Amino acid sequence: MTCIRRNDSPFFTSSDGCLEAMKTTNIFGDHELCRYEYDEVLSGDLDIEAFAVQVLNAVDRHGFAVIENAVQGPACNQVVSEMRSYIEATPHGLHGLGGTRRCGALVARSASSHQMIAHPVILELAKRILGEQKLNGDAVRINGREGPGEQGFRYPWQLHLTQIIDVGPGGGGDDMPHQLQLHRANGMWLHDFQHVGIDPQMEVMWALSDFTEENGATHAVLGSHREAPRNGTGGYGEPTVQAVMPKGSVMIWTGWSIHGAGVNRSADRRVGMNINYALGFLAQEENQLLACPPHIARKLPEQMQRLMGYRQPAAALNYVAECQPPEDSVLQEDFDVLVPGAHGHVMNPALDGPGFAPENEAAFEAKVADLERQKSAAIAVDDLEQALHLKHAISVLHRSPRTTKQQ
């Protein structure tokens, strides 16, 4: 492997991977922050799977890897533009990091972020790291069976966190300075994953602006994903490598890899987008179903809905009300959990009775008229939530089976 540095740029490039300038030695051994140029895919030299395997191998060996120019600069600018009002309305210092503003709910707030959240290489890596547990030797265990990944033998996984991290110049204020806080992310769950050989989380940082040493590019402790015990403090102070990368690039690492946001010593703000993925049966750090509620989610592509968790990842997990999957309930336009019969299940009048709708046609019409009057009254007093609830009730009533049409 030949490693080169482009002399006319502050960023490192390589035709096939890691850079000699990004090597380090620490208590975890000799490691390097490998880089891959996405142009290899765009040019047709490699397909998505072959490219992802290269990146996966680097993450396996070193805990981190960088893909340069995974998207173009204008796409990054558009995400920042869509999120600007939210960024500027967010106080500095959330999560205890002075000089830093963090805001989420990107799926709902930034349509341009979707191409990065669902980037084909990132999803391929998540499938392999989380679904197939490739970094742990195909350590998938389901109902007493173990991998390796024959077709369908994978863990479900989903979106875990979406967040803009906007780091201002100067390292924060005197009352809350921004200090480098190296950490692992997998400690949020109470289960002791570290001793069962499972990777519950994959993390991603997109550079929405250039990441340089001066503006505090993310620090990585290479090789730290292999140290046991994984939640110990050993290695936190070890030599770090900063993920210097141009706008549109992305760094990938595991939830066990020690990392931290650098201090911005430049005159400009550094903007990154942190997108994490985790096993589908674990609680999300950012609750995606609340951050992007059904009335927004139902307008999104199915792939994005499923990534957020609007699905049943396994067996009966994540059903709604009367045992409905999310796509057949909350993602339907007229579904309302407070309306009887909104589940849409087929009713057998002989066995189940008339259900929500009266059997008699005259009584049916009277019920519709009463609901319409209630809806008009709610609109008159600006109670739009109640009006929408009544609109759903009328819709469900019209599609509910009735045993007779007689007056």
23-43 residue pLDDT tens: 888 888 889 999 999 999 999
Q: What's the rounded mean pLDDT across residues 141-153?
A: 70
387-399 residue pLDDT tens: 988 888 888 888 7
So what's the pLDDT on residue 5? 34
94-121 residue pLDDT tens: 776 778 899 999 999 999 999 999 999 9
So what's the pLDDT on residue 17? 43
So what's the pLDDT on residue 25? 87
pLDDT of 214 > 50? The answer is: yes
Please report how the helices 384-399 and 361-380 are oriented relative to each other, as an axis angle in degrees rounded to 10: 160
| Lowest mean pLDDT segment, chosen from 97-111, 253-267, 280-294, 331-345 | 331-345
Domains of the chain: 20-292 (2.60.120.620), 333-399 (no CATH)
pLDDT of 61 > 90? The answer is: yes
So what's the pLDDT on residue 3? 35
Contact between 167 and 238 (Cβ < 8 Å): no
Here the tokens at position 381 are: 């007093």
34-37 and 64-68 beta bridge pairing: parallel
So what's the pLDDT on residue 19? 44
So what's the pLDDT on residue 246? 96
pLDDT of 405 > 50? The answer is: no
Closest CA to 337 of 293, 393, 378: 393
So what's the pLDDT on residue 237? 65
- Give the global pTM: 0.87
Average model confidence (pLDDT) for the chain?
Answer: 85
Q: What's the rounded mean pLDDT across residues 253-264?
A: 91
358-371 residue pLDDT tens: 767 888 889 889 99
So what's the pLDDT on residue 104? 97
Give the confidence band of 14 by pLDDT, cuts at 50, 70, 90.
very low
Which of the two residues, 300 and 340, has the higher pLDDT score?
300
So what's the pLDDT on residue 171? 64
So what's the pLDDT on residue 268? 93
Give the confidence band of 354 by pLDDT, cuts at 50, 70, 90.
low
Contact between 178 and 229 (Cβ < 8 Å): no
So what's the pLDDT on residue 191? 76
In the numeric block, the tokens 């002989």 are attached to 350
CA distances from 113 to 164, 330, 406 (A): 10, 24, 55
Contact between 168 and 101 (Cβ < 8 Å): yes
Instruction: Give dist(CA 407, CA 399) in Å, integer.
Output: 19
| Lowest mean pLDDT segment, chosen from 83-87, 132-136, 396-400 | 396-400
So what's the pLDDT on residue 353? 67
Instruction: Give dist(CA 198, CA 140) in Å, integer.
Output: 8
